[in-house]
Structure 1
Amino acid sequence: MDAVDDISTARRWLILGCSLLAALTTTSVVSGVAYLIPSLHTDAGLTLTQASTLAAVPTVGLMAATFPWGILLDRYGERRILLVSLTITLAGAGAAAVAASVAASYVVVGGALLIGGLGSGAANGASGRIVVGWFPAHQRGTAMGIRQMAQPLGIGVCALTMPVVAASHGPAAALAIPAVVTAAGLVAVIVGITDPPRRGAAERIGETVAPRPNPYRGNSFLARVHLVSMLLVIPQSMLWTFVPTWLIVAHGWSPAGAGLLITVTQVTGALGRIVAGRWSDAWMSRMRPIRIIAVAGVASMFALALADWLDSPWAPALMAVATVISVADNGLAFTAIAEFVGPDWSGRGLAVQNTGQHLVVAATTPLLGALIAAVGFPLAFAVTALAPLAAAPFVPRDRAREPGELMDA
């Protein structure tokens, strides 16, 4: 771990903060459009399925580009790739806002959002590599929990601002918000990101580099982590995408009130990720907390479905609880994958993780929208609870790739 001590503690945490902001751009660009679904549905005349499909377009771009970005990260490092990717993201997000402001068709807007999604595919993997590269094992869960705050904080920013701006100034003005966030993330990369040392990346014999073998061969650990994460992202996607519509359209909340509740929930979820990370550091286990989180996810989603079916006033509070639980596992899985595959493969390993999750989000968002339109929110919440129920038995035991890392639990 000597290389980790090459920089000061303050510098290490500054790099973490900048990587968090870089990752926040991905959430804002990819997930922000979901907070325009009520406006697109009620004001622009799109059906719920059409609006949901438009909201899924950036996710399609993200999914398509994440693995190529991961290969480039493994080859060229974090800072250089982040500069390129965030520049593309900013171009796409800005073009979407401009296209909407001149009343271009939603096909054109969707094309710009696709470009933004394609550019955003590097930020999550790069920031995960930065955490594993600059923090020792006993701090990585906590540090990754802080980095993983980017998702709920990005959702909170979008939820607090985009519905209100759309209601008062139209969707075009609201689409400018992800572009502004991306610009801030690009500045953070320029100012604060330093590539971590490639500790243990290869063994050198003279001038010959012996790379690590493919970590996917010979065991099922990574495949099971990916599968579990793909299942656990389904309730997260449901809650992040359709809760604004649930509150505003189904329950008559104002955009400002819905945005405030969602923002408070997302901030709480962000703090919950830090708690989950600290929990995993204390247990020196990433998988056991994930197994508990999956079981809690089943209970919380069924409770929300029942409360909504009974039209209980407790339903919004149960939604908040379910949302916090649904985001708690992400940082743990990310950390476990990066620790297991090592720096030679972390770009690709995290890219597979992200691609799998975003594939599920892109595929299920229109399906969930159609399900809600057909049977209503309560039954759709209950169906979503089946995903963490299926995930729990597949959570693997902890695995260690190097001495000093996690041991079998």
Structure 2
Amino acid sequence: MSPTRRWIMLASSLVAAMTTTCATAGVAYVIPVLHSDHGMPLSKAATLAAIPTIGLTLTIIAWGAALDRFGERRVLLISLGITAAGTVAAMIVAETGAGFASLAIPLLISGLGSGAANGASGRIVVGWFPPHQRGTAMGVRQMAQPLAIGVCALTMPVFAERLGLATAFAVPVVVTVIGVIAVAVAVVDPPLPPASAAVSAANPYRRRSFLQRVHAVSVLLVIPQSLMWTFVPAWLIVGHHWSALSAGVLVTVTQVAGALGRILVGRISDVVGSRMRPIRVIAATAAVLTGGLALADWLDSPVAAGVMVLASISTVADNGLAFTAIAEFAGPSWSGRSLGVQNTAQYVTTAATTPLIGRLIESAGYPAAFAIAALGPLIALPLVPRDAGAPGTDASDPSDA
């Protein structure tokens, strides 16, 4: 496999993963229109936004097991096909002007189908890239989430406001179709190394608590991340009276910066030979900046939007490092399932906290929500484990302290 082919494959995997984010997070970007034009309460709109995530959560471990068993190419094509069906149906239902329940069904279907794309790439990164490039490669792959958020933020609020909900829901459809083409053209499953097959077949969760602690840390760090993704557009448009276009541009710029930040921290982890030490720094930074955003918004400070940008960048920086560490530790026979567990834990947290945060904002305001979210990374700090060993190797140190 030539270096050029590796990176083309990784780029195709990135595009495929963008479909998951568009299918599950895109609804958040029509919340302002649902709230202001259709009279939907913020808590109910937030519940609707969480429905695709619920579907994703229900199937993501099963998709991970399928990835481990059958490889990424075939499973991704099936997964993306289901996602495409759900997103097309959501667009059609939105065009007919049907109610909450009717729109919830296709959104659930798109979420059910999107799990493989979100959990894929662990085997591609570990199988096709050498250890000293894996942090960088996974950082590139993890650009999918912020880039997809940027695409949705730049298009869906404006489309919903000016052209209607159906046009806004066309955005996930287009991204999913592009993802199907990218996978069909470029993705090749890496071979399972014979020497590692017997070792990697053993359940990595029984060796030590490394994976469990990484999952726990990621769950706590996803709380402010999901808050930023879901409610910042409404915070800007409804709370601070920004136009949909200006809010979309700011969110898009923020997400692009967050995507580049994932590559940077991935490269740093390759250079310093550690995935966990950078995560500690990220957790501390996210706690400070999210807490600072709560204070700035409470004071109605003009710098609140700038603090939001920095806080958003910090809250997405850890994902690639956690994914890389999990894939390396779990091995090629368990990476799909382990990343499925990782994503399930994060999406369960997102699905559970999104409606609660919506109610908190309605009752106490955005500053209180930002302050509560800042506690997540603060609690995560002491839970970050030691590295499992040198990047690309299995752990031999029995201590997690």
Is TM more than 0.5 here?
Answer: yes
Deviation at 1:108, TM superposition (A): 1.4
Evaluate the alpha carbon distance shift between residue 220 and residue 405 of structure 1 in structure 2; reply closer, same or farther with a 3 A threshold.
closer
Structure 1 equivalent of residue 71 of structure 2: 77
Structure 2 equivalent of residue 94 of structure 1: 88
Deviation at 1:104, TM superposition (A): 1.9
Mapped contact 1:201–1:342 kept (Cα < 8 A): no
Structure 2 equivalent of residue 321 of structure 1: 310
Establish whether residue 225 from structure 1 lines up as the match of residue 219 from structure 2: no
Looking at structure 2, the residues matched to 221 and 39 of structure 1 have their Cα atoms a distance apart, in angstroms, of: 43
Structure 2 equivalent of residue 359 of structure 1: 348
Q: Percent identity?
A: 60
> Which residue identity is paired with 1:309?
W
Deviation at 1:401, TM superposition (A): 8.8
> Which residue identity is paired with 1:267?
V
Alignment of 1:43-62 (within 5 A): 43-62=37-56
Deviation at 1:407, TM superposition (A): 8.3
Looking at structure 2, the residues matched to 20 and 214 of structure 1 have their Cα atoms a distance apart, in angstroms, of: 28
Structure 2 equivalent of residue 162 of structure 1: 156
Evaluate the alpha carbon distance shift between residue 76 and residue 201 of structure 1 in structure 2; reply closer, same or farther with a 3 A threshold.
farther
Alignment of 1:257-276 (within 5 A): 257-276=246-265
Structure 1 equivalent of residue 374 of structure 2: 385
Deviation at 1:402, TM superposition (A): 9.1
2:204 match: secondary structure: coil
Match of 1:146 among 140, 161, 173: 140
Mapped contact 2:56–2:347 kept (Cα < 8 A): yes
Match of 2:327 among 317, 334, 338: 338
Looking at structure 2, the residues matched to 86 and 178 of structure 1 have their Cα atoms a distance apart, in angstroms, of: 11
Looking at structure 2, the residues matched to 54 and 401 of structure 1 have their Cα atoms a distance apart, in angstroms, of: 43
Match of 2:187 among 185, 193, 209: 193
Looking at structure 1, the residues matched to 74 and 289 of structure 2 have their Cα atoms a distance apart, in angstroms, of: 42
Structure 1 equivalent of residue 17 of structure 2: 23
Structure 2 equivalent of residue 4 of structure 1: none
> Which residue identity is paired with 1:34?
A
Deviation at 1:184, TM superposition (A): 0.4
Match of 1:103 among 94, 97, 100: 97
1:216 match: secondary structure: helix
Looking at structure 1, the residues matched to 26 and 280 of structure 2 have their Cα atoms a distance apart, in angstroms, of: 29
Mapped contact 1:284–1:406 kept (Cα < 8 A): no
Q: Which runs of 5+ in 1 are unaligned?
A: 1-6, 204-208
Mapped contact 2:275–2:391 kept (Cα < 8 A): no
Structure 1 equivalent of residue 172 of structure 2: 178
Deviation at 1:403, TM superposition (A): 7.5
Instruction: Provide, for residues 167-199 of structure 1, a one-character-per-residue CA deviation record: whole Å limited to 9, x for no partner.
Output: 001112101110110000000011111111212
Deviation at 1:201, TM superposition (A): 6.6
Structure 2 equivalent of residue 66 of structure 1: 60
> Which residue identity is paired with 1:357?
Q
Alignment of 1:117-156 (within 5 A): 117-156=111-150
What is the TM-score normalised by the length of structure 2? 0.97
Deviation at 1:219, TM superposition (A): 1.2
Evaluate the alpha carbon distance shift between residue 393 and residue 187 of structure 1 in structure 2; reply closer, same or farther with a 3 A threshold.
same
1:385 match: secondary structure: helix
